[in-house]
Amino acid sequence: MPHIVFNNNGELITPSNKDGVDFKFIAKSYNVSEKPKKTEYKIGVSNQTKDFLLTLKDNKENKIVKADKITRVTPVTIVKDALNTYVKHTNANVLFSNTSNFSQKAEPQKEYLKDIEYFVNEFETSNEIQIEIGFGSGRHLLYQAQNNPDVQFIGLEIHTPSIEQVLKQIKILNIRNIIIVNYDARLFMEFIKSNSVGKIFVHFPVPWDKKPHRRVYSNDFIYEAKRVLKFTGTLELRTDSRKYFDFCVELLTNLSSGKIEIDINKDLPISSKYEDRWKKQNKNIYDVTLHSFTIDEEIEPNKDFSFGKINNLIKTFENISQKAVIFDDYFYHIEDFYLIENEKNSGLIQITFGSFNRPLSKYLIIRDGIISYYQGEPIPTSSNIKAHNKMKEILTNDYC
Ligand SMILES: C[S@@+](CC[C@H](N)C(=O)[O-])C[C@H]1O[C@@H](n2cnc3c(N)ncnc32)[C@H](O)[C@@H]1O
């Protein structure tokens, strides 16, 4: 983590600009608990059009300024620049620094790796979509993409080394119909249009026999998979785990419509890395395929992340509970408060919220009572929206 240790610096004036870096505000931690807590400052900066925070800690012998973890931006050179400019701007006497920008390698271009915002705002295709969940070594995904050039494949994986490997293969094999996303498959389907997917492959998912709630398959997952499947589309599970197979068969047979097909030791034209492993051990391989015959309504995701106004920020800080509030499928946790210096009714609130599978940490920024999400609105998943609505209720409840 880039940081600079220093002493004897001058006061930072905000707003101000030095060498292209904007120093917009300083926010001081506001402690509402009984326990004394060390004072910490968040400095709002903007460099090369990106907004982020620097954390400033004032220890007895020295001070330390570093990147704030939640608002980290890439490339890291942007943050290092801002840290170096901060110490220069305040004439600090630097004792230690790891912010030299010389050895930075350029980020490799990852043309086929997209982030989730791409699916929220840009993704369009007139081709059939097929999705593979947890592609691992990618053997099956690459084979399918090469043999079905008119299909747009989406590969979902959460293991970064597997993603890196498959991206290399995509380049070597010159494949143009795969998009890779590093995102939890249990939350991804929300961003896909109804009736647009021909096949969803879930091959050898982690069985999670001791923690079934972590499995990819659940009632919610099947419901969303069915919504995105076209008429005659299929959701295909292939597994060596009898327990996972039984679990999925039970979930699928609770559906009100659809056809279910079961196979044991079915031969596929391509064998994945895990399949090879289980075959060597003479394990049975089970397939359960759901054929969907419904046409589902298009969903219009609610993207309203607006807030009202806070009339008295300090009173709000004093009245809000800092304990996590947990519901069935989402939560929110209001964690820390900061007051922006020399500005009326202004501050930062550090929050974590959304789904248990992929919690999101962010700051809310309040300027003259008006609340918004610092660095932009969250991804509009249903759990983020539900958590937002609860936080909105709590924050704009007039305590004055
Ligand atoms: C046992 S491996 C199987 C890999 C590959 N399908 C095969 O047959 O060789 C399961 C893969 O699923 C990925 N995975 C687990 N949970 C996931 C999730 N919620 N979303 C996307 N990928 C997931 C893991 O990272 C892992 O690479």
pLDDT at res. 398:
60
Quote the distance between the C-alpha of residue 218 and its chain's center.
Answer: 20
The answer, yes or no, to whether any atom of ligand 1 lies below 6 A from the CB of 216, is yes
pLDDT at res. 9:
82
Residue 100 — pLDDT band, cuts 50, 70, 90? confident
pLDDT at res. 110:
77
From ligand 1's centre to the CA of 281, what distance in Å?
A: 20
Which of 135, 182, 189, 211 to mutate to test ligand 1, by most ligand atoms within 8 A of the CB atom?
135
The answer, yes or no, to whether any atom of ligand 1 lies below 6 A from the CB of 195, is no
Q: What is the pLDDT of residues 17-61, one digit of tens each?
A: 999 999 999 999 999 877 778 899 999 999 999 999 999 999 888
Q: What is the pLDDT of residues 297-321, one digit of tens each?
A: 988 878 899 998 999 999 999 999 9
The answer, yes or no, to whether any atom of ligand 1 lies below 6 A from the CB of 155, is no
Residue 109 — pLDDT band, cuts 50, 70, 90? low
State yes or no: pLDDT of 400 exceeds 50: no
State yes or no: pLDDT of 187 exceeds 80: yes
Q: Burial of 328 by CB count in 10 Å (0-12 exposed, 13-18 middle, 19+ buried)?
A: exposed
pLDDT at res. 108:
55
Please state the rounded mean pLDDT for residues 156-161.
96
The answer, yes or no, to whether any atom of ligand 1 lies below 6 A from the CB of 76, is no
Cα 143 from Cα 270, distance rounded (Å): 7
Residue 332 near residue 323 (C-beta atoms within 8 A):
no
pLDDT at res. 36:
77
Please state the rounded mean pLDDT for residues 67-91.
95
For 336, residues 6+ apart whose C-beta sits below 8 A from its C-beta are 29, 322, 349, 350
Cα 84 from Cα 47, distance rounded (Å): 12
Ligand 1 atom nearest 275 alpha carbon: 8
- From residue 198, give the alpha-carbon distance in Å to each of 147, 354, 356: 15, 29, 29
Read off φ and ψ for residue 360, nearest 5 degrees: -115, 130
The answer, yes or no, to whether any atom of ligand 1 lies below 6 A from the CB of 362, is no
Looking at every residue in the chain, the average pLDDT score rounds to 93
Q: What is the pLDDT of residues 243-256, one digit of tens each?
A: 999 999 999 999 99
Flag the least confident range among 103-112, 262-271, 324-333, 377-386: 103-112
State yes or no: pLDDT of 293 exceeds 70: yes
pLDDT at res. 102:
62
Cα 129 from Cα 229, distance rounded (Å): 9
CB burial readout 370-392, b (16+ within 10 A) else e: ebebbbeebbbbbbbbbbbeebb
Residue type, 182: N
Rg (CA), the chain: 25
Structure tokens at 311: 């009339």
